[in-house]
């Protein structure tokens, strides 16, 4: 009698930094990782919306994840990246301190997020992953880019096109 082997399910995650914490988003939601570039400010937008960039002919709204999570602002460096993600049918750039890793995360290693992690409210999180000595915080992009704000970002994008 042969034993059926159950294949462990994994997801690929793009890892990026904010402050001293590591965050991750499912690779299927990430379109590209760009170097920091000039951002055109747009008036009357939430403070975490930094403006728009022209990314290969596509006007893309950009948010600062530090501002979004009410973390201290940072000086942008050579390591600063804009992670272009797709959430709620909208392409958005997220400014992060650094993005430098793609890892496989076994589904069974994802634990529910505590109420607050790294100063960030649990509603923005999909869970946490403990890998060796690393703690990875998985973001829920649909919540990070909530529908009310998405409407604002869509309007902003339409006025720039």
pLDDT band at 150 (very low <50, low <70, confident <90, very high): low
Residue 101 lies in a domain: yes
CA distances from 156 to 45, 50, 56, 62, 133 (A): 8, 11, 18, 11, 41
pLDDT at 149 over 50: yes
Of the ranges 23-27, 46-50, 84-88, 148-152, which is most confident? 23-27
Q: DSSP string covering 103-127, please? A: EEEEGGGEEPPPSEETTEEGGGEEE
| Tally of domains in the chain | 1
Q: Is there a domain that residue 24 lies in?
A: yes
In angstroms, the CA 19 to CA 157 distance is 29
Q: How many beta carbons lie within 10 A of that of residue 109, not counting itself?
A: 15
What's the rounded mean pLDDT across residues 105-129? 78
Confirm whether 153 is domain-assigned. yes
Q: Is residue 106 part of a domain?
A: yes
More confident residue, 133 or 65: 65
Confidence band, pLDDT 50/70/90 cuts, at residue 151: low
Q: Tell me: pLDDT of 6 over 60.
A: no
Structural domain contains residue 3: no
Q: What is the 3-state secondary structure (H, E, C) of 45-83?
A: CCCCEEEEEEECCEEEEEEEHHHHCCCCCCCCCCCCEEE
Higher pLDDT, 117 or 107: 107
The CATH number that applies at residue 123 is 2.40.50.180
Quote the domain boundaries for residue 53. Answer: 10-160
How far is it, in rounded angstroms, from Cα 81 to Cα 90? 19
SS3 label, residue 17 = strand
pLDDT at 1 over 60: no
Q: Per-residue confidence at 38, pLDDT binned at 50, 70, 90?
A: very high
The answer to the question of residue 17 being in a domain is: yes
**What pTM was estimated for this model as a whole?**
0.84
2 part of a folded domain: no
What's the confidence (pLDDT) of residue 80? 96
Domain assignment present for residue 154? The answer is yes
């Amino acid at each position: 009698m042969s034993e059926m082997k159950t294949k462990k399910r994994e997801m690929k995650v793009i890892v990026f930094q904010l402050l001293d914490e590591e965050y991750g988003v499912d690779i299927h939601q990430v379109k590209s990782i760009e170097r920091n570039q000039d951002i055109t400010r747009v008036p009357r937008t939430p403070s975490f919306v930094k403006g728009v960039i022209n990314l290969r002919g596509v006007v893309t709204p950009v948010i600062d994840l530090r501002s979004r999570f009410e973390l201290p602002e940072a000086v942008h460096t050579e390591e600063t990246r804009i992670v272009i993600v797709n959430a709620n049918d909208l392409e958005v750039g997220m400014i992060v301190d650094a993005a430098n890793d793609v890892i496989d995360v076994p589904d069974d290693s994802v634990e529910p997020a505590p109420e607050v992690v790294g100063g960030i409210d649990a509603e923005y999180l999909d869970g946490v992953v403990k890998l060796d000595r690393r703690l990875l915080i998985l973001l829920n992009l649909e919540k990070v880019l909530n529908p009310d704000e998405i409407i604002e970002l869509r309007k902003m994008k339409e006025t720039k096109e």
